[in-house]
Amino acid sequence: MLTVIAEIRTRPGLHHRQAVVEAIKKNTPTVLQEDGCHGYSALVDHDSSAPFQATAVDSIMMVEKWESVAHLEAHLQTPHMKAFGEATKDDVLDLHIRILEDA
């Protein structure tokens, strides 16, 4: 089982981040039905005011669980993910994907 952490950096302004969050929420039920998907969650920074907290107000962190890299690659090629990319292209600056395994 792989854990994927994808940081989606949006253009400055909460409206850009919110547009992407809404698109993710719309897409999530379909993604969770994909073969090999065992989890798919969007997270944003909590405003804790903790002095040790690092924040990135224009970022969304995706935490995903996939059976394999092949399943993740297939996910990225689905029509709904291509439509997500098209729908959010004016809001997203870049994407950084980490593929992790248990140590």
**Model pLDDT, residue 12:** 96
pTM of the model: 0.92
- Reported in sequence order, the residue ranges of 1-103 that DSSP labels E, i.e. its strands, are 2-10, 37-43, 59-66, 92-100
Angstrom distance (rounded) from CA 66 to CA 62: 12
Q: Distance (Å, rounded) from C-alpha 97 to C-alpha 100? A: 10
* Residue 23's pLDDT band (cuts 50, 70, 90): very high
SS3 of residue 4 by DSSP: strand
Among 89, 33, 40, residue whose Cα is nearest residue 62: 40
Q: What band does 1 get if pLDDT is binned at 50, 70 and 90?
A: very high
Enter the tokens of residue 89.
Answer: 């292209």
pLDDT in tens, 31-89: 999 999 999 999 999 999 899 999 999 999 999 999 999 999 999 999 999 999 999 99
Task: Say if residues 99 and 27 touch (Cβ distance below 8 Å).
Answer: no
pLDDT-based confidence at residue 91 (cuts at 50, 70, 90):
very high
